[in-house]
Chains A and B, each alone.
Chain A
Amino acid sequence: MKYVDEYRDPERARRLAESIRRLVTRPWSIMEICGGQTHSILRFAIDEMLPKELTLIHGPGCPVCVTPIEILDKALAIAARPEVTFCSFGDMLRVPGSGKDLLTVKSEGGDVRIVYSPMDALRLARENPDREVVFFAVGFETTAPANAMAVAQAARLGLRNFTLLVSHVLVPPAITAIMESPQCRVEGFLAAGHVCTVMGTAEYERLAERFRVPIVVTGFEPLDILHGIQMCVRQLEEGRAEVENPYARSVRAEGNPAARRQVFDVFEVSPRKWRGIGEIPASGLRLRPEYAAFDAETRFGVAHLAADEPAECIAGEILQGLKKPHECPAFGLRCTPEHPLGAPMVSSEGACAAYYRYRRG
């Protein structure tokens, strides 16, 4: 596939790793924000190509992992209702709430469907006017334009049987939270290329300046990631702290203004709880009051549900990069993909699941 295969070229990857080795003179810790990048790094064993001075810290950019347990409980409560067809991306189906997961609800008779796009859920709502179709709208800035369009289109079509359970989060407030943490070890960031495709790079300029930290907008293929690391290391070695964008084939400095307009027409910034981290101010999106009719939490009366996370799970420390998965005493023993204590063990992007799959033994 064009724009995929050439970015997996082993010879170029080897050369890039070599150039990184030549650059490094001392230890550095770099965080890849995005779970998709974590997945690529472990799948292609990119970390093994790097000099030992470099530590990659796996960041909180996995929507499945950071969705708080109480939103999951709300999803489970809604999905169990007989009149509801509950639509979700495949990633969310095995994530445990307080008691069970969406697959269990399905096995108990809930109508739970995997969809590829929120527009597929919208189509189900149009085709089944007697069903309440609920879409589980998780995701970062990348996914928000799609979910916003589904709501806008439902409004245009006058659909009354389509609602969203919203758990949208934003990257920059998470970076701020990580940098302000007293235990923060992160010295440079690989910013999530697809988030920046929508949002552009302006927010990251402010962060780079405020925290004196290099931020490199990075893609998802092995060469993209190595290139991002190479530029980040170079900044660190040269004492610079700027925003650089080697993923310019997809990311413009201004992002995608049309997508952003649609997002902020439907959603507004709100505080959000992050699984394992807690509430971060202005770190998420919720439906604007004019779209309140599309809010599943109010339609199904689940807004009040609250829940505590399992005490033994150290997802918070994992997601902030303070610990590696294998440093958790439950890892691989009491916490496995079959019996996960927390979301990072479930999502294929979750750091714990990725370690379990690719690094155990």
Chain B
Amino acid sequence: MSQEFCFACPRPLDQQETIQLAHGGGGRLMQRLIEGLFVPAFAGGAPRGPLHDSSVVEVREGRLAFTTDTFVVDPIFFPGGDIGKLAVCGTVNDLAMSGAVARWLSAGFILEEGFPIESLCRVVESMQRTAAAAGVQIITGDTKVVDRGKGDGVFINTAGIGLVAPGIEISPDRVRPGDAVLVSGDLGRHGIAIMSVREGLQFEGALDSDCDCLGELVSAICARGAAVHCLRDLTRGGLAAALNEIATAAAVGIEIDESAVPVAPQVAGACEILGLDPLYVPNEGRLVAMVAADAAAAILEIMRAHPAAPQPALVGKVTDTHPGGVELRGGLGGRRILDLLSGEQMPRIC
């Protein structure tokens, strides 16, 4: 597929401006949706062969990584991204966190009856643009339509297959006391960008979402080989959730220095007025890395040279005390537990 391919919405769909139940009904309308929208977008107008029930790809010997993720976001279009970009980045990033280079994605759409076709075109276009930039192909897909009121516009599932190069072992098992904890950039932009356009909370001046593919960044980091022990992308629950998951999985303690954690002033300001803690606010384009302490400076240097890591920082270390727990050293020197929350952080006012 050509990277230069520029997709323009083909408007193939007769007079209908919105998704009809028939677009998922197995008949002519569905065929037009596939052939008029998905195939030209994802296959660059030149399908690799006749449309078939599954796609076949060639692999050499080695290890594959396989993952899946489902995306729901309100609103579908937000500052700095949309559900399509999110659906590609999310799965590419999940593969990257195993040290895998993402190669092939599937895309499953659940569309709500009445969803504007023009919006679907924008989402599909965004998926293709993101996939092309990340060097990954969307090679199979599916569409279902649900009755109006039984969905929220569009839900997307992507599954992905990536190749793991020889010698790369990235897993919580490899985290050791003494490891350095690095983050690739400032926290909380995605969650705050979404909130800034939520009904009832709106504000101006929020930064764009950090939504981004981290595959290339991870490839660059993995050039350091065995020094890279564990990677985790920061999504729901933010840095706090990612660290708790790793601490539990690796049965180690983690200590974080709050003042070393990068947070943009706009995110800090929004967190102040909404009563949120940026350590729990979601990201979609940041990772935390546990690396051998003696390689931390070199890996930070690699991150600094990479556009997907805008503000890398050493934020803490792995310890052998309180296994399974994350402790935060506050700006004033005191310590507290950085626990998982019971649910999504909600704006607190009082």
Contacts and interface: CB of A to CB of B under 8 A. Distances in A.
Nearest to A146: B349
A358 B331 CA distance: 15
A328 interface: no
Contact of B330 (A14, A45, A87, A338): A45
Contacts, number: 101
Contacts of B269: 1
B334 interface: yes
B350 A64 contact: yes
Contacts of A43: 330, 336
A218 interface: no
A110 B265 CA distance: 36
Contacts of B341: 337
B58 interface: no
Contacts of B274: 116
A188 B332 CA distance: 24
A358 B322 contact: no
Interface residues of A, number: 47
Q: Which among B201, B332, B343, B347 has the greatest number of chain A C-beta atoms within 10 A?
A: B332
Give the interface centre of B275, B339, B348, B349 by most chain A CB atoms within 10 Å: B349
B285 to A, nearest CB: 25
Interface in A6-24: 8, 10, 13-14
B268 interface: yes
Contacts of B166: none
A49 interface: yes
Contacts of A357: 336-337, 339
A160 B30 CA distance: 47
A20 to B, nearest CB: 14
B350 A13 contact: no
A336 B343 CA distance: 13
A114 B275 CA distance: 13
Nearest to B347: A90
B24 interface: no
Contacts of A114: 200-201, 346-347
B333 interface: yes
A337 B336 CA distance: 17
A347 to B, nearest CB: 8
Given A1-B268, A45-B330, A45-B335, A62 B200 contact: no
Nearest to B324: A361
B332 A89 contact: no
A93 B346 contact: yes
Interface string B267-294: 0110011110000000000000000000
Interface of A: 1, 4, 8, 10, 13-14, 35-36, 42-46, 48-49, 62-64, 87, 89-91, 93-94, 113-116, 120, 124, 138-140, 143, 222, 336-338, 347-349, 356-361
Interface of B: 199-201, 265, 268-269, 272-275, 322, 325, 330-337, 339, 341-343, 346-350
